[in-house]
Amino acid sequence: MTTTRPGPGTATPAADANGAKPAPKVVKKALGEVDSRFGTAGFLKRNLNKVFPDHWSFMLGEIALYSFVILLLTGTFLTFFFRPGTNEVIYQGQYIPLRGLKMTEAFQSTLRISFDIRGGLIIRQIHHWAALLFMAAIVAHCCRIFFTGAFRKPRETNWLIGVGLISLGLLEGFAGYSLPDDLLSGTGLRIAYGIVESIPVVGSYLGSFVFGGQFPGPDFIPRLFTIHILLVPGILLALITAHMLIMWHQKHTQWPAEHRTNTNVVGAPFYPAFMAKTGGFFFATFAVTAALSALVQINPVWLYGPYNPTQVGAGSQPDFYIGWLEGSLRMMPNFETHVAGHTISWNVLIPAVVLPGVLFTAMALYPFLEAWVTRDYSAHNICDRPRNRPGRTALGVAVLTELGILLLAGGNDVLADRFEVSLYATTWIFRVAFIVAPPIAFMLTRRICLGLQHRDAHSALHGYETGRIVMLADGEFIEVESALPDEAVARMGLEYRQGPPPALEPLVDDHGVRSRRRHNPIERVRGRIGAYLYEPDAQPHTNGHANGHADGHAGELTEDSGDHELNAGE
Amino acid sequence: MTDHSADNPYAPPPEDTTRATSAGTVATAEAHPASDHNPVRPPIIERITRPQDADPRRANRAERAIALAFLISAAGTVAFIVSYLAVPSLNNLHDVHVSNLLLGLSLTVSLAGLAFGIIGWVKWLMPAHELVQERHELAAADADLETAAQVVMAGLEETGLARRSLLKSTLGLALGLFALPAVLLLRDLGPLPRKTLSTTQWKAGLLLLNAETGLPVRLGDLEIGSFTTVLPAKADDMNEEDLSKAPVLLIRLEPGLNKPAAGRENWAYQDHVAYSKICTHVGCPIGLYQKQSHKLLCPCHQSTFDVPRACKVVFGPAARALPQLPISVNSSGEFIATASFDQPVGPSFWERS
Amino acid sequence: MTRRSTTAAGQPRRVRRSRLRRRLAGYAVIVGSLAGVGTVYSFVTAAPGVAAAGDPTQSVLQGKSLYLQGCSSCHGLAAEGGTDGPSLVGVGAAAVDFQVSTGRMPVRQQEAEARRKPNSYTPDEIANLAAYVASLGSGPAVPADSQYTPGSDADMALGGTLFRTNCSACHNFVGAGGALAYGKSAPSLSKATDKQMYEAMVTGPGTMPLFGDRQLTPDQKRDIISYVKGVKSTPDPGGFNLGRVGAVPEGLVAWLAGIGALALFAMWIGARARRAT
């Protein structure tokens, strides 16, 4: 069988057994050299063809990946010049407001990088902007995975790796911006020491061991340096590699659409199209980071001054990815217990230790909890549209609302100053919002999702309104509705909606025996949660055409588009 | 764990091979016969013909646009090199600013040129057909799973662990013990805290020295409504650890305003009071005194302390009042501490009563 | 056009014209006498704020009349204070110079704190007001140029340390301002002149504490002023400074500009291919 290739002016040589044009000898020889040593031909044959689905929301993780690459590159440059020393030096450089001042070598080397080394400031700013983009992209990517249910089997491990990546990224960023030992980040380290101190029983020991003594301790900058350039990047690199390999092996999820099923992947081949897209996106990420670094100043440590434990500045905030913890520290009421000669500082423990612990643990366990509540242990390769899973989407929005309130609360003094609101009023507003806003957000979101679902089902069944009014013979006016194309209906993913709860075994069976499982209190909780999250009216396995809406539509005139069929009252 | 059990409504629906498509053909994963499809590639499920595919002139125009983007990128790279070399040394902040701007913008142009060029190349020139590939079942066939399990069991049999419980327990002991040296090696990461969290450098008789100048503060130096930061020694002579616990705020209140707590009547001197500067929440130095309301406001988390009433907490997350330093004035008119703090300064910790 | 001897109303035109003239004459007399009185008045009363050189009594008197016009309604007829304003006895000239030259006084409305706004008095008027208040009781005097202008020997770095120990907790690291409790705020120092900064340190306006000369010597005050000025005039080498407020606007820019731009780019990459018609 001969195959003709597209494009003007190409000859059509004879095909080989595959049916494809034979490859040039030199390419085969090159591949052969590698293959005879590593056995790569089979790998290449399969993987260069690998199909990747195409949607912009799948590229959020790539922003994080490429930001990480940028961080590695710029970070390596910075390590050639940064000196993680806590020994005191006198600054004699060109920034006059600090000239003659005593400061640590860490701070001085940061000033040197910023002011004396060509390209130093742009690389330093790229490094910091890339760090912010890294964390922001991770959060956005995590939200995308959550709201589309891409954490379900078989991808729970990747979700766990992701939770690990978020927490490590947080630690890495905190360590990184604390290295220059300026007044702002030093204040943050003091707060960190205070948080560690508040841990019952072991707090004072932990603080002393981590910092090498009382605060600040002579070792804290060198230790942070090792953590920041060696330990955490190493673990991050390993986890990111595992994350990518697992995704490669399991293949990416895809949105519901025509031709897409749970057992196939539709999209572009890895080589060359996807490689090019992702390569181009790397350059785009780098370009946006470079643009920000050229135009917007970030972390101007010379304005903050060197760290001095007797000094502090108004408007001291950490970078945003720690900002939610700052907000929780500010909002917490001042509960403390004194018992038997010991103090438990709930006012520090709960917002700074318990809250993040609960959050990350809940995140890690979520895929398993959701599977347990919905009794769904099958593999899923199709993304959920958020509206089709109102319970999960509402929960996610409620948690994001909570975190958003904490983030805003972290900057409450800046907000109070900028918007001329009383400072204490902001504290109370955020305290109340912390309790009240997430349930409201949950209920609102769930209702909105259900509404959108119903609209989808309605459009799928009845089509869309064309705006053409027709008068029937008996004088009645109706609007002509046109059926949606199949492709649009397929994209609604109606068959993937969250349906009614699965049939449970009866409380008492035919022989009068009580069901042990059903009367188990845990099972009852499971059923209760599930019942609230389900939408009782939708059917899970329809194609959207048969929702029992036969009544009242007999007289309707519908227009068929193309060769697509849609029967009223089916 | 079957995928399509009847009582699991969340399992993906069975493949719907009967649904009509817009092209009128069945949507399966079989090869889509077409004259330009390369058989070594995955089959095409949807052909997409873009204007660039239909009209070679548009394709050439696209190529020229992409080439232009690459040329702009190259120009940006050259501009970067020129910007770097054109600034031989950075003499002042203005130079730094210009250098940062030029280097950053030229880098942006060179990267953005590549980004737009490569993406344009994919979007307009590379084939846009949708290809389809089967997901192979990740789980192995039952027989393979059984074999794997049998291999695992066979190996376990060979170790003899099942029978030899003595072996098992002593192995567990030997391996498990390794955790202890690993933890023990961390012992010298830092000294034991002992009493360090509970004590500061302040002692009876020490002068209150101005934190910047190191000079003693004299009675009359402070106006009514003034406050200053004092230390027990010159800052240069103190180490950082003591500097994070020792700062004290000396505040002069209006006459008669101070309401000393019981037993602290002589801790103030002629309306001058001294309190620890280190916030009892998580340790920020406070530094913010509102003269009219006589409150100390910590800028970190807004803990507010009422100075005339022994700095008790009136708002915010701090739970304890600021520790007070008893002061007096010596015969030369200089402020001195008459005792050390009666409680630990700074954030609370477990051992604090 | 023909002229009729009577108007439409039947009245003789001549009578009408003379009534009109009389009315106009009446207006002219009123305007003229007003102008005359005004002119006479302006010569009789001294122009406000113009005190003869070396005549402090005159300055105090003019200051008193200005005070009675603009300040007494809140601060009392003898500056003894009232429900709307504190007593000004013993406040000193420097406080008046600060408050009025920054436009804080007179307040536009009673609120938690008086804010800077365009000032309502000329420098001479302010000097007279200050002289009057100074005459009521002793308080800090208006500083001389040599006191508040940092010389070439001002130690900017020491000023920075002093600023970060005493001032930055309210005013932020570089004087960009910050929120305080009870509806008050520490203002940005971007518009403050050297003189105003010196006076603020000496008099402690509003809820700001005082820093007398025995606490912060005039040298140290000049160092602080030189630091604030130095930082204000320092260029931002990294680019747009986002108000020099810190990490809050930086995070906002990272999300909106950074992730926003990249999300848009990703949408472009993943956009549905245009079909040939």
User: In this structure, which CATH number among 1.10.340.30, 3.40.50.460, 1.10.760.10, 3.40.50.970 belongs to the domain C56-136?
Assistant: 1.10.760.10
Residue C144: DSSP 8-state: P
The arithmetic mean of pLDDT across residues B162-180, rounded, is: 92
Interface probe with C: pick from B119, B224, B226, B300, most Cβ of C within 10 Å: B226
Q: B-chain residues within 8 Å CB-CB of C200?
A: none
Indicate whether B202 and B317 sit together in one domain.
Answer: yes
Instruction: Identify whether the C-beta of residue B76 lies closer than 8 Å to the C-beta of residue A283.
Output: no
Q: How far is CA B324 from the centre of its chain?
A: 34
The whole-angstrom separation of Cα B20 and Cα A563 is 9
Q: Report the percent of chain B where pLDDT is more than 90.
A: 73
How crowded is the C-beta side of A106, counted as CA atoms within 13 Å?
26
CB-based contact B283 A343, cutoff 8 Å: no
pLDDT averaged over chain C? 87
Indicate whether B240 and B328 sit together in one domain.
Answer: yes
CB-based contact C169 A280, cutoff 8 Å: no
Q: Where are the domains of chain C?
A: 56-136, 145-233
The whole-angstrom separation of Cα A305 and Cα A104 is 11
Residue B20: the pLDDT is: 38
SS3 per-residue string spanning A365-398: HHHHHHHHHHCCCCCCCECCCHHHCHHHHHHHHH
CB-based contact B189 A210, cutoff 8 Å: yes
Residue C8: the pLDDT is: 52
Residue A545: the pLDDT is: 45
The whole-angstrom separation of Cα C13 and Cα C4 is 8
Measure in Å the smallest separation between the Cα of B167 and chain A Cα atoms.
34
Q: Is the confidence at residue C214, as pLDDT, over 70?
A: yes
How crowded is the C-beta side of B47, counted as CA atoms within 13 Å?
13
Indicate whether B352 and B215 sit together in one domain.
Answer: yes
Q: Is B224 on the interface with C (CB under 8 A)?
A: yes
With a cut of 70, which residues of chain A have pLDDT below it? Answer: 1-16, 499-504, 534-570
Q: Is residue B25 part of a domain?
A: no
**Closest of A301, A176, A150 to residue A228, by C-alpha:** A176
Measure in Å the smallest separation between the Cα of B91 and chain C Cα atoms.
12
pLDDT in tens, A257-304: 989 999 999 999 999 999 999 999 999 999 999 999 999 999 999 999
Q: pTM value?
A: 0.87
Residue A553: the pLDDT is: 41
Tell me which residues of chain A, numbers 176 to 205, contact chain C at a CB-CB cutoff of 8 Å.
183-184
With cut-offs at 50, 70 and 90, classify the pLDDT of residue B1: very low
CB-based contact B226 C165, cutoff 8 Å: no
The whole-angstrom separation of Cα B270 and Cα B255 is 8
Indicate whether B98 and B203 sit together in one domain.
Answer: no
Q: Is residue B184 part of a domain?
A: no
- Among the three residues B86, B108, B131, which one is the final residue of a domain in this structure? B131
Q: Where are the beta strands (DSSP E) in A35-161?
A: 51-52, 88-90, 102-104
Tell me which residues of chain B, numbers 270 to 299, contact chain C at a CB-CB cutoff of 8 Å.
285-293, 295, 297, 299
Structural tokens at position A359: 């959050």
Residue A480: DSSP 8-state: E
Residue A20: the pLDDT is: 81
Structural tokens at position B75: 């120009």
Does A216 sit behind a cis peptide bond, omega within 30 degrees of 0 on the bond before it? yes
Residue A535: the pLDDT is: 58
Q: How far is CA A355 from the centre of its chain?
A: 19
With cut-offs at 50, 70 and 90, classify the pLDDT of residue B21: very low
The more confident residue out of C157 and C114 is C157
Output the CA–CA distances (angstroms, integers) from residue C114 to A209, B251, C100, C206, C221, in the order listed: 50, 25, 11, 8, 24
Measure in Å the smallest separation between the Cα of A474 and chain B Cα atoms.
36
Interface probe with A: pick from B15, B41, B49, B107, most Cβ of A within 10 Å: B107
How crowded is the C-beta side of B338, counted as CA atoms within 13 Å?
14
Q: Is residue B57 part of a domain?
A: yes
The arithmetic mean of pLDDT across residues B4-22, rounded, is: 48
CB-based contact A136 C265, cutoff 8 Å: no
Q: How far is CA B1 from the centre of its chain?
A: 41
Q: Which fold has domain C145-233?
A: Cytochrome Bc1 Complex; Chain D, domain 2 (1.10.760)
Tell whether the torsion through CA atoms of B47, B48, B49 and B52 is positive or negative. Answer: negative
Which of C233-247 are b and which e, b meaning 16 or more Cβ less than 10 Å from the residue's Cβ? Answer: ebebbbbebbebbbb
Phi-psi sector, A104: left (phi>0), alpha (psi -120 to 50), beta = beta
Q: Is the confidence at residue B19, as pLDDT, over 50?
A: no
In the three-class reduction of DSSP (H, G, I as helix; E, B as strand; rest coil), residue A252 is classed as: coil
Query: Which residues have a Cβ under 8 Å from the Cβ of A346 and sit 6 or more positions away?
Result: A332, A335, A336, A337
Indicate whether B294 and B213 sit together in one domain.
Answer: yes
Residue C37: the pLDDT is: 86
Structural tokens at position C247: 């990490």
Residue A494: the pLDDT is: 85
Which stretch of A51-60, B274-283, C27-36 has the lowest confidence by average pLDDT? C27-36
Q: Is C202 on the interface with B (CB under 8 A)?
A: no
The whole-angstrom separation of Cα A255 and Cα A267 is 11
- Among the three residues B75, B97, B131, which one is the final residue of a domain in this structure? B131
Does B127 sit behind a cis peptide bond, omega within 30 degrees of 0 on the bond before it? no
Residue C51: the pLDDT is: 46
Q: How buried is A477 (Cβ within 10 angstroms: 0-12 exposed, 13-18 middle, 19+ buried)?
A: exposed
Residue B211: the pLDDT is: 92
Q: Is A94 on the interface with C (CB under 8 A)?
A: no
CB-based contact C179 A414, cutoff 8 Å: yes
The whole-angstrom separation of Cα C67 and Cα B28 is 93
Query: For B353, which residue in chain A has the nearest alpha carbon?
Result: A341
For chain B, the domain total comes to 2
Does A154 sit behind a cis peptide bond, omega within 30 degrees of 0 on the bond before it? yes
Output the CA–CA distances (angstroms, integers) from residue C159 to A196, A395, C221, in the order listed: 34, 52, 8
Interface probe with C: pick from B292, B298, B306, B313, most Cβ of C within 10 Å: B292
Please name the member of A100, A313, A424 whose beta carbon is closest to the beta carbon of C157.
Answer: A100
CB-based contact B48 C165, cutoff 8 Å: no
Indicate whether B199 and B339 sit together in one domain.
Answer: yes
Q: Is the confidence at residue C44, as pLDDT, over 70?
A: no
Q: C-chain residues within 8 Å CB-CB of A308?
A: 161, 164-165
pLDDT averaged over chain B? 88
Task: For residue B347, give its domain range.
Answer: 195-353
What's domain A59-252+266-312's architecture? Up-down Bundle (1.20)
Any idea which residue has 């309210």 for tokens?
A: C170
Q: Which of A228-232, A376-380, C84-88, C271-275 has the highest mean pLDDT?
A: A228-232
Residue A528: the pLDDT is: 77
User: What is the biggest distance separating any 2 CA atoms in chain A, rounded to whole angstroms?
Assistant: 97
The CATH number for B271's domain is 2.102.10.10
Q: Is residue B236 part of a domain?
A: yes
Q: Is C211 on the interface with B (CB under 8 A)?
A: yes
Query: Which residues have a Cβ under 8 Å from the Cβ of A505 and sit 6 or more positions away?
Result: A515, A517, A518
Output the CA–CA distances (angstroms, integers) from residue C47 to B139, B182, C33, C44, C60, in the order listed: 99, 88, 21, 9, 14
Please report the DSSP string for A490-504 in residue order: HHHTGGGS--SPPPP
Query: Which residues have a Cβ under 8 Å from the Cβ of B293 and sit 6 or more positions away?
Result: C181, C182, C207
Q: What are the start-end ranges of the H helices in A251-319?
A: 275-295, 301-304
CB-based contact A308 C164, cutoff 8 Å: yes
Q: At what angle do helices B93-120 and B56-86 cross, to 10 degrees?
A: 160
C145-233 matches C56-136 in CATH topology: yes
The whole-angstrom separation of Cα B116 and Cα A286 is 12
Residue B3: the pLDDT is: 42
Tell me which residues of chain A, numbers 218 to 237, contact chain B at a CB-CB cutoff of 8 Å.
218-219
Any idea which residue has 């494809």 for tokens?
A: A20
Please name the member of C168, C169, C273 whose beta carbon is closest to the beta carbon of B128.
Answer: C273
How crowded is the C-beta side of B125, counted as CA atoms within 13 Å?
18
Indicate whether B209 and B307 sit together in one domain.
Answer: yes
Please name the member of B53, B122, B289 whose beta carbon is closest to the beta carbon of C276.
Answer: B53
- Among the three residues B75, B102, B131, which one is the final residue of a domain in this structure? B131
Q: Where are the domains of chain A?
A: 8-47, 59-252+266-312, 460-559
SS3 per-residue string spanning chain B: CCCCCCCCCCCCCCCCCCCCCCCCCCCCCCCCCCCCCCCCCCCEEECCCCHHHHCHHHHHHHHHHHHHHHHHHHHHHHHHHHHHHHCCCCCCHHHHHHHHHHHHHHHHHHHHHHHHHHHHHHHHHCCCCEEEEECCCCCCCHHHHHHHHHHHHHHHHHHCCCCCHHHHHHHHHHHHHCHHHHHHHHHHHCCCCCCHHHCCCCCCCCECEECCCCCECECCCCCCCEEEEEECCCHHHCCHHHHCCCCEEEEECCCCCCCCCCCCCCCCECCEEEEECECCCCCCECCCEECCCCEEECCCCCCEEEHHHCCEEEECCCCCCCCECCEEECCCCEEEECCCCCCCCCCCCCCCC
Query: Which residues have a Cβ under 8 Å from the Cβ of A125 and sit 6 or more positions away?
Result: A292, A293, A297, A298, A299, B100, B104, C238, C239
Query: For B183, which residue in chain A has the nearest alpha carbon?
Result: A209
Instruction: Identify whether the C-beta of residue B280 lies closer than 8 Å to the C-beta of residue B320.
Output: yes
Residue C208: DSSP 8-state: P
Please report the DSSP string for A183-251 in residue order: HHHHHHHHHHHHHHHTSTTTHHHHHHHHHTSSSS-TTHHHHHHHIIIIIHHHHHHHHHHHHHHHHHHH-
Which stretch of A9-13, B27-31, B249-253, C102-106 has the lowest confidence by average pLDDT? B27-31
Output the CA–CA distances (angstroms, integers) from residue C43 to A533, C38, C121, in the order listed: 87, 9, 22
